[in-house]
């Protein structure tokens, strides 16, 4: 539209004058735009990975059925992202009566302000335009939310300034729900909303109107209502009252990435790894290792499964891994940052704060469990990448007393000289193609994965003080000391 109508008279000369256009509900509008996207083969929810065959088809069905719906899922399952992506199903712009707080339809105003404006100005009534983003209103439910926040309340200041009696509709201060008229209203963490506030949603969901402060004011709002909730919150913090659940058309359950590959793709999309300065090259096995940590945590009985392990964990871990590699490269004046397995251990603070422990886990401590998760993830990654490789030569060297202590912050070329003292290590890395590239930084990273994989398999041992050594028996034979230690070949 080259020239946007600025008055009601101008708007009547456009396609908006057609009742099938200006009287179309927001749910019909979203349905029509969704159908058009499906016909054109366009992606409905770009950036949402792993839900293509599960969640997204159910959301599409709910929209096609013109249902209000709720997304149920643990933290970090893209619930809010899906809700916010719904704005793409709205028209780019719609006209409203200028100055209207509740987006009055110029052809059918529902507020007293809108009706008076059309009566007084007729075709000269001013028109404003709002974008699709302005038609999305989101509220995080908290126990302190009031009915006035959601629905509205009488504003004595408005009454005094305008000389109105309190019962006059012009004295109303509209809440978030009326302000989302002709748009989408989303409530996150619905169970946290007090029961009496949930009751206030009944009318809008069933009869399509709200009443404010007991005055005989009915607003036939046109709103798409969507919600999100953690299923465990029904008992942990609150609950969704039964009559409200009955009025929600579809209950859609989200989930974590079904495969490591999906998780890697999500983390690659979300993590801030392109720093715009020093080049960062992340080996594929480091990406997999980071994702395996989250998958291992979700299966660990010491971690509270009801709380879940958010997808934000691998995202934060990968960002910290890159930062540690970046720091090392800057200090050592290297030309690029290539993360190593040791950088994953440096990302412990990004793990411990994102796991909720059961009683047994509390006894062991978050730090110890996080280190064990990294070892298990390294073992799984090594098994996937080079599980069939012959590592006997490497293990034999350690069994004979060899030891290797690697400094986390040393230059790549110096580390590579240390790793080259382990017979068969570099040959295995090159034979399996783990490194991908033959430069020192990638070779060192791959060598660390091999050794960590052997540690996970308990074929060699590693400690903070001694580095990589042979496996030490838990109880040395009586009268003998522990296993002998060869000299540190690299300190």
Q: What is the arithmetic mean of pLDDT over 398-402?
A: 94
Task: Report pLDDT for 163.
Answer: 65
Q: What would the two tokens of residue 199 be?
A: 């009751």
Higher-confidence residue of 316 and 245: namely 316
Least confident of 93-102, 142-151, 391-400: 142-151
Give the pLDDT band (50/70/90) at residue 166.
Answer: low
Q: What is the arithmetic mean of pLDDT over 243-271?
A: 95
The Cα–Cα gap between 491 and 489 comes to: 7
Please spell the DSSP secondary structure of 161-180, one letter per residue: HHT--TTSGGGEEE-HHHHT
Q: What is the arithmetic mean of pLDDT over 388-392?
A: 92
Q: What is the arithmetic mean of pLDDT over 458-471?
A: 90
Higher-confidence residue of 296 and 168: namely 296
The Cα–Cα gap between 457 and 383 comes to: 9
The Cα–Cα gap between 407 and 418 comes to: 10
Give the pLDDT band (50/70/90) at residue 203.
Answer: confident
What percent of the chain is predicted at pLDDT more than 90? Answer: 72
**pLDDT tens digits for range 375-389:** 999 999 999 999 889
Q: What is the arithmetic mean of pLDDT over 342-348?
A: 96
pLDDT for residue 57 is more than 60: yes
The Cα–Cα gap between 88 and 68 comes to: 17
pTM of the model: 0.87
Task: Report pLDDT for 491.
Answer: 37
Q: What would the two tokens of residue 363 be?
A: 């006894």
The Cα–Cα gap between 383 and 454 comes to: 10
Q: Strands 93-97, 127-131: parallel, antiparallel or unpaired by DSSP? A: antiparallel
The Cα–Cα gap between 294 and 297 comes to: 5
Least confident of 199-208, 241-250, 317-326: 199-208
Q: Which CATH architecture has domain 8-253?
A: 3-Layer(aba) Sandwich (3.40)
Task: Report pLDDT for 215.
Answer: 66
The Cα–Cα gap between 236 and 224 comes to: 28
pLDDT for residue 490 is more than 50: no
The Cα–Cα gap between 398 and 228 comes to: 54
The Cα–Cα gap between 187 and 176 comes to: 10
Q: Count the Cβ atoms, other than its own, within 10 Å of residue 91.
A: 15
Q: What would the two tokens of residue 462 be?
A: 């590693």
Q: What is the mean pLDDT of the chain?
A: 89
Q: Is 191 helix (H, G, I), strand (E, B) or coil?
A: helix
* CB-count burial class (<10 Å; 0-12, 13-18, 19+) for 235: exposed
Higher-confidence residue of 288 and 463: namely 288
Among the listed residues 330, 379, 374, the one whose alpha carbon sits nearest the alpha carbon of residue 350: 374
In this structure, the dihedral spanned by the alpha carbons of residues 69, 74, 75 and 80, taken in order and rounded to 10 degrees, is -10
- Element (DSSP H or E) covering residue 460: strand 460-463
Task: Report pLDDT for 45.
Answer: 96
Least confident of 117-126, 249-258, 475-484: 475-484
Q: How far apart are the first and last CA of the chain?
A: 71
Q: What would the two tokens of residue 143 be?
A: 């126990």
Q: What would the two tokens of residue 34 be?
A: 């969704």
Q: Strands 69-72, 250-253: parallel, antiparallel or unpaired by DSSP? A: parallel
Question: Cβ(184)–Cβ(136) under 8 Å?
Answer: yes
Question: Cβ(379)–Cβ(453) under 8 Å?
Answer: yes
Q: Is 252 helix (H, G, I), strand (E, B) or coil?
A: strand
Q: What are phi and psi of 39, to 5 degrees?
A: -65, -35
Task: Report pLDDT for 196.
Answer: 82
């Amino acid at each position: 539209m080259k020239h946007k109508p600025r008055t009601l008279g101008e708007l009547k000369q456009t396609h908006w004058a057609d009742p099938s256009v200006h009287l179309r509900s927001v749910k019909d509008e979203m349905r029509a735009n969704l159908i058009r996207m499906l016909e054109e083969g366009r992606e409905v929810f770009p950036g949402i990975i792993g839900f293509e065959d599960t969640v997204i088809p159910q959301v599409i069905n709910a929209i096609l059925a013109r249902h209000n719906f709720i997304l149920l899922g643990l933290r970090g399952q893209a619930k809010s992202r899906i809700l916010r992506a719904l704005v793409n199903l709205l028209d780019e712009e719609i006209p409203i009566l200028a100055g209207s707080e509740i987006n009055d339809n110029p052809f059918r105003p529902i507020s007293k302000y809108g009706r008076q404006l059309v009566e007084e100005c007729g075709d000269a009534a001013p028109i404003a335009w709002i974008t699709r983003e302005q038609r999305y209103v989101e509220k995080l439910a908290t126990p302190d939310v009031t009915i006035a926040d959601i629905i509205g309340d009488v504003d004595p200041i408005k009454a005094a300034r305008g000389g109105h009696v309190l019962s006059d509709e012009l004295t109303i201060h509209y809440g978030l729900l009326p302000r989302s008229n002709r748009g989408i209203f989303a409530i996150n963490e619905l169970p946290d909303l007090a029961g009496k506030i949930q009751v206030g949603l009944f009318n809008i969901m069933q009869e399509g109107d709200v009443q404010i402060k007991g005055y005989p004011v009915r607003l036939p709002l046109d709103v798409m209502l969507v919600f999100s909730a953690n299923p465990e919150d029904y008992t942990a913090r609150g609950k969704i009252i039964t009559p409200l659940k009955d009025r929600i058309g579809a209950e859609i359950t989200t989930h974590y990435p079904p495969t490591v590959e999906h998780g890697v793709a999500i983390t690659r999309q979300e993590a801030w790894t392109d720093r715009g300065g020093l080049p960062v090259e992340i080996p594929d096995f480091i990406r997999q290792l980071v994702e395996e940590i989250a998958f291992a945590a979700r299966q660990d009985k010491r971690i509270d499964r009801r709380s879940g392990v958010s997808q934000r964990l691998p995202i934060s871990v990968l960002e910290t891994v890159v930062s540690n590699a970046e720091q090392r490269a800057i200090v050592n004046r290297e030309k690029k940052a290539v993360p190593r397995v040791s950088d994953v251990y440096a990302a412990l603070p990004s793990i411990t704060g994102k796991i909720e422990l059961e009683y047994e886990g509390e006894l062991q401590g978050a730090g110890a469990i996080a280190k064990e998760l990294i070892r298990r993830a390294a073992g799984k990654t090594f098994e996937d990448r080079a599980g069939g490789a012959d590592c006997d030569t490497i293990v034999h060297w350690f069994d004979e007393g060899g030891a290797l202590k690697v400094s986390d912050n040393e230059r790549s070329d110096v580390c590579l000289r240390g790793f080259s003292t382990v017979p068969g290590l570099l040959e295995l890395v090159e034979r399996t193609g783990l490194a991908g590239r033959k430069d020192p930084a990638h070779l060192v990273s791959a060598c660390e994965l091999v050794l960590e994989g052997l540690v996970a398999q308990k074929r060699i041992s590693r400690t903070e003080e001694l580095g990589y050594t042979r496996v030490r028996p838990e109880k040395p034979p009586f009268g003998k000391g522990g296993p002998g230690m060869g000299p540190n070949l690299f300190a």
